[in-house]
Chain A
Amino acid sequence: MRKMTARWPLILALMVGVCLTAPSAPAWAADPIVLGCPLSTAFLYGWDAERGIRLAAEEINAQGGVKVGNEKRPLAVEVIDTRDLEPGVPVSEALLGVEKLLLEKKADFIVGGPVRSEAALAAMPIIAKAQKISILTSGSLTPKYSEMVGQQPDKFKYLFRISGESKWMVTGEIIPCLEEIGKKYNLDRLAIMVQDVAHARAGGAIIAKVMAGKGWKVLDPEVYPTGATDFSMGLVKAKNEKAQVLLIWMDMPETSILLKQWNDMKVPALPFGSIIAAAEQPGFWAATEGKGEFCLANVVNAGNAPSQATPWTMKFVDAYQKKYGLEPEGYGTSSSYMAVYVIKDAIERAGSLDPEKLVAAMKATDLMGVYGRIKFDPQTNQVIPSLDPNEGAVGTIFQWQAGKRVVVFPPKIATGQILLPPWMTAGEKK
């Protein structure tokens, strides 16, 4: 009982402190529309989205802002660091960040994240409860997100996703691309290396099943924990079992280790990154001293690597390069950029910020964007993908060739051909 006294000055100070700081929501002179962006800004899939969003908002503000009814209102971007990609940080931290955007920053829209699938899924009820339109643009690829919207369309009608979703990426892009490679170079042995997260495991399993059905010899998938730093055993296995294509699905930076090891060991298999964090960045070439050459990488949406998908694509790439000094980096860049334009478009058609009107306007979106025609599935609010930019959102698979990212798939927007590393072609000639 002795020790239980003298806490009052402390508590008093604390309460005063909390009370003073709490209602400090900033007051603006004009009345901007606030885009709240919960992103893990210390990671590629956080800052790519942040840059895309800021670029679009700047462009729109430079043109006078968004027309709501009769008045023009500027856009304000509020980014909050959710840290959800960091290991050792609970997702509740990211959820608190989302709530901070909704409750304190008075965000009118949620754009971008949360990035990690677990966080994005857990944030769904919170955003839906607040009745704010949200567009997921980076990170989370899990099909479960749009499935959940589809299952409870009334509850989750506010939630849209403008970036890719792993089911389509597999069936619509990766498998056709694999088939093309197989036909062209007569390859049919596939090794699969995936990261231990739900979307990668599921993606790897589907690819394995479908490719086996198409007459390929598929080796047992290797599952690596997030943060693995040694891939030699898997590569040795792939080499011994004469794999010819190495399918990689990992969104962790350590993938550059994998490619270095692949090059050092001269594994005669073409690395095909369905999702491969490290190889997406323009800095990848320098970081691996060119050892990542011939690696294929999927950047989900066109515009994340230079191509001529639509007239807007290069305009976006150039604007990005002018502002940030390098080409777009991660797979969430062009989608985050487009999300802002989609919101602008929807607001102007709805003529107000009323959530119900906005949902209707969002669902009616039909916009020719950076990566093709943007339309949302009426049931699941997922952007409709396609191989033709005039039909829907197109993806991009590029290959590193002589220090450049050359788009090789889909054929409609390709700027080059898929090449094999010299140690593979040498083997074939024998």
Chain B
Amino acid sequence: MEILIYGIVNSVSLALMALGFTLVYGVSRLPNFAHGSLYVTTGFITWLLLQRLGVPYLIAMLISLVFIAAVGAAMYNFILVRIRGMSISEIIASYAIGLAILEGLRWGGLKGTTHTLPVFASGSVDILGVVVDSHRLLVILLGAILVGLLWVFVNRTRLGLALKGMAQDERAALTLGIDSDRMAVMSMALGAIMAGLAALVLLPLGNIVVEAGYHVLIMAVAVCIVGGLGSWTGAILAAFLIGFAQIFTVAWLGPHFQVVVALLAIILTLISRPSGLFGRQKELEERV
């Protein structure tokens, strides 16, 4: 029973971490390796506003989301746009930006263990004999709401449909008058917001540390690869797969094999089905 509940919590957390990454990749084929640093930055800014400047929690969250969206957009607009299409360069450049942000934050005072955000709801709930703290339940709820909103946004709004069009066929979208670069900027901003939202939902459970940036990046990449790069449903399914696999290893093998499982999952998936378990297979593009 606890495996089920904590497995769901873990899976939803993973899905939240990965959604922003897969959104950006899905729309603009841009592996955004600065994803983790956007996550940490949002947390840090919220912390600054909340604990240092005394801004109310909700407003602090909104401000930092707007800020992080601007950072994401600027990153694309000024830097990444110049190397569109060269995937290795994109990886290196975005990773370098992420590294600069993270280490800059560390230099700017983000060190130690005293940076935390308050939980939305304290206390704990007893579900069928398993005690879960309320914030974790909220994580499940908020995660579900976010995924739902994202779905509505993509399938029901003009902008969302344009993004989807880009993802499916960039050239056809161009002929229909969809500006590819503008859409890429939008997707980066959206991806940054998703990273920020994940941070706001998940960080109150822990504390804001630079290392979280690297952790989030690895987990996001793992989920996206197993699920198939760019596939949203795949990412969510993969999040559950990895999430439960991790909880099972903790329960039966010992927690120190947790990361090993994630890494093995990536390697095995890439070797056997490079497009992921749920992605569109493009056999010729990815293998000899």
A binds B: yes
What is the distance, in angstroms, from A264's C-beta to the closest C-beta of chain B? 3
A233-B251, A283-B113, A284-B114 known, 14 other contacts, Cβ within 8 Å: A42-B106, A43-B111, A44-B111, A233-B255, A236-B2, A236-B130, A253-B211, A254-B207, A254-B209, A256-B206, A257-B205, A257-B207, A278-B113, A281-B112
Q: Is the CB of A233 within 8 A of B6?
A: yes
B123 within 8 Å of A by Cβ? yes
* Stretch in A22-30, A113-121, A220-228 with 4+ CB within 8 Å of B: A220-228
Most buried by B among A224, A234, A286, A287: A287
What is the distance, in angstroms, from B222's C-beta to the closest C-beta of chain A? 15
Give bound CA distance, A344 to B122, whole Å.
Answer: 52
Chain A residues whose C-beta falls within 8 Å of the C-beta of B116 in the assembled complex: 256, 287-289
B118 within 8 Å of A by Cβ? yes
A232 within 8 Å of B by Cβ? yes
Decide: A223 near B130, CB < 8 A? Known: A233-B2, A254-B206, A287-B207.
no
CB-based nearest B residue for A195: B256
* From B114, B135, B211, B255, contact of A287 by CB (8 A): B114
B42 within 8 Å of A by Cβ? no
Chain A residues whose C-beta falls within 8 Å of the C-beta of B112 in the assembled complex: 43-44, 253, 281, 283
Residues of A with Cβ closer than 8 Å to B? Answer: 42-44, 47, 87-88, 196, 222-225, 227-230, 232-234, 236-237, 239-240, 253-257, 260-261, 264-266, 277-278, 281, 283-284, 286-289
Give bound CA distance, A260 to B118, whole Å.
Answer: 11
Give bound CA distance, A224 to B136, whole Å.
Answer: 20
Give bound CA distance, A14 to B209, whole Å.
Answer: 38
Q: Is the CB of A260 within 8 A of B205?
A: yes
What is the distance, in angstroms, from B129's C-beta to the closest C-beta of chain A? 9
CB-based nearest A residue for B110: A42
Q: Is the CB of B254 within 8 A of A222?
A: yes
Give bound CA distance, A239 to B2, whole Å.
Answer: 12
- In the complex, how many residues of chain B place their beta carbon closer than 8 angstroms to a beta carbon of chain A? 42
Give bound CA distance, A224 to B203, whole Å.
Answer: 19
- Taken residue by residue from 85 to 126, chain B's Cβ proximity to chain A (1 for < 8 Å, 0 otherwise) reads as 000000000000000000000110001111110110011100
Give bound CA distance, A258 to B135, whole Å.
Answer: 14
Give bound CA distance, A284 to B13, whole Å.
Answer: 25
Q: Is the CB of B255 within 8 A of A224?
A: yes
* From A88, A229, A239, contact of B206 by CB (8 A): A229
Give bound CA distance, A230 to B243, whole Å.
Answer: 12
The 9 closest A-B pairs by CB, nearest first: A264-B133, A283-B114, A253-B113, A257-B206, A278-B113, A287-B114, A223-B256, A233-B250, A196-B256
* From B118, B123, B131, B134, contact of A289 by CB (8 A): B118
* From A47, A87, A228, A261, contact of B258 by CB (8 A): A228
Give bound CA distance, A43 to B133, whole Å.
Answer: 30
What is the distance, in angstroms, from A197's C-beta to the closest C-beta of chain B? 10
Give bound CA distance, A255 to B251, whole Å.
Answer: 19
Chain B residues whose C-beta falls within 8 Å of the C-beta of A229 in the assembled complex: 205-206, 212, 215
B9 within 8 Å of A by Cβ? yes
